[in-house]
Amino acid sequence: MERLIEFYQEMGVSPAVYHYGEAALDRLKDRFDEIDKIAEYNQAKVLSAMQKNRVSAACFAATTGYGYDDIGRDNLERVYADVFHTEAALVRPQITCGTHALTVALSANLLPGDELLSPVGIPYDTLQEVIGIRPSPCSLAEYGVTYRQADLKEDGSFDYDAIREAINEKTKLITIQRSKGYATRPTFSVAQIGELIAFCKNIKPDVLIMVDNCYGEFVETIEPSDVGADMVVGSLIKNPGGGLAPIGGYICGTKTCVERCAYRLSAPGLGQEVGANLGLMLSLYQGFFMAPTVVAGAEKGAIFAANLYEPLGFRCVPNATESRHDIIQAVELGSEEAMIAFCKGIQGAAPVDSFATPLPWDMPGYNDKVIMAAGAFIQGSSIELSADGPIRDPYAVYFQGGLTWYHAKLGILKSLQEMVNAGLAAI
């Protein structure tokens, strides 16, 4: 379409970059169809849970103060529990982010003398301080919870021998991170996570399994709670918030685990009974309703990015053709300069703060400097088009999100344009 090409050119995407993108898209039709099928299934799943729980306008009313008898909040938790096929759920604006949700789940279910095991290598950066791998006040280590880790094998697969050896009489909880986070290992499929859970429970049937589900929700038709996880945990400013939730986190799981989480989040004895919704219910419900479609758009963006960058010689994780289990695309750019150019392009495509230039900074909870491009409606939301990464070898930028596929597409084209303009990529 000529008008579109002209418009894109006005917005800083040259016809050469546009046509390079279109050629890549031609090869992606079948994959995009498959993503749409998954989204359709997940849309039905969410819709059916909303109908079953008789969601009505009354659920959107604001509550304040203690928030006793908050029907909207309580019902949203039933909707989440039904979608994740769990006995219970804790879904709250009082959970400030994904790290907080994970911290609540861990500290509620681990007591002094217990051991935590990660069978999938080192956990996500912010979790390292939570656990005490990097010493921090109030870490689990300070409370007498020990930690063990079994690293993945060279090829990214589970090291079952090392895992068997690591499980002992103290092992109380096993944490499995689904998404790669800021690492360049593969993200696990739900089926792979299921195999790992079965292996661990076979060795120790009463061990609790928690899955850090960040960025994985709705990418497949099943979730880790469908394959034996006792708790699945995530952030509402990622996938399940659908871009509309302005804050929040969720923990779905067994009644026993979730109850403990509620006591930890509020106070022993109070649990789920308190926690006013502050008028946020409409965005939490509506965001959850939108989430399957939003996730599909973001996933298309991730695949598109891999199919633009890989042929230009940049290593992509996942690569251009392999199957997807989260919405993250890592692109190894090889230099700080290239990371800055890439992020500049993403930022320049944003609806908010498009005029800002992202630069590396010391971000709390992270060990290296981090660069972030995010022109989001919700600050820090990474279900919205965003790119970030720690400034360290291999200088990988982690690209994710996009509330609509068209926006993701434009952002990726603009990132490539910046790389081309800076002489860092040749098409």
Q: Which stretch binds ligand PLP (CB under 6 A): 141-149, 191-199, 212-220, 283-291?
A: 212-220
Closer by beta carbon to ligand PLP, 78 or else 264: 264
**Residue 186 in the binding site for ligand PLP (CB under 6 A):** no
Quick one: which of 67, 181, 390, 402 contacts ligand PLP (CB under 6 A)?
181
**Residue 99 in the binding site for ligand PLP (CB under 6 A):** yes
Q: Which uninterrupted H or E stretch holds 202?
A: helix 190-203
Quick one: which of 70, 82, 129, 212 contacts ligand PLP (CB under 6 A)?
212
The Cα angle at residue 87 between residues 81 and 93, in degrees rounded to 5: 45
- Work out how close the CB of 130 gets to ligand PLP at its nearest, in angstroms, rounded to a whole number: 10
Q: Which uninterrupted H or E stretch holds 287?
A: helix 281-309
Distance in Å from the first CA to the final CA of the chain: 21
Query: Got the DSSP string for 29-74?
Result: HHHHHHHHHHHHHHHHHHHHHHHHTT--GGGG----TT-TT-HHHH
Closer by beta carbon to ligand PLP, 253 or else 348: 253
Quick one: which of 94, 187, 189, 235 contacts ligand PLP (CB under 6 A)?
235
**Residue 386 in the binding site for ligand PLP (CB under 6 A):** no
**Residue 118 in the binding site for ligand PLP (CB under 6 A):** no
Quick one: which of 8, 84, 215, 304 contacts ligand PLP (CB under 6 A)?
215
Quick one: which of 21, 98, 241, 389 contacts ligand PLP (CB under 6 A)?
98
Quick one: which of 163, 214, 378, 387 contacts ligand PLP (CB under 6 A)?
214
* Closest listed residue to residue 107, CA positions, set 148, 72, 142: 142
3-state SS assignment for residue 371: strand
Closer by beta carbon to ligand PLP, 99 or else 139: 99
Distance CA 322, CA 32 (A): 13
Distance CA 151, CA 365 (A): 22
The Cα angle at residue 291 between residues 408 and 388, in degrees rounded to 5: 45
**Residue 187 in the binding site for ligand PLP (CB under 6 A):** no
Distance CA 19, CA 3 (A): 14
Q: Name which of residues 150 to 179 contact ligand PLP (CB under 6 A).
A: 177, 179
Closer by beta carbon to ligand PLP, 126 or else 293: 126
**Residue 63 in the binding site for ligand PLP (CB under 6 A):** no
**Residue 53 in the binding site for ligand PLP (CB under 6 A):** no
Closer by beta carbon to ligand PLP, 99 or else 347: 99
**Residue 243 in the binding site for ligand PLP (CB under 6 A):** no
Question: Residue 361 gets which letter from DSSP?
Answer: B
Q: Which uninterrupted H or E stretch holds 91?
A: strand 88-92
Token pair for 250: 């969720």
Which stretches of the chain bind ligand PLP, using CB under 6 A?
97-99, 124, 126, 177, 179, 181, 212, 214-215, 235
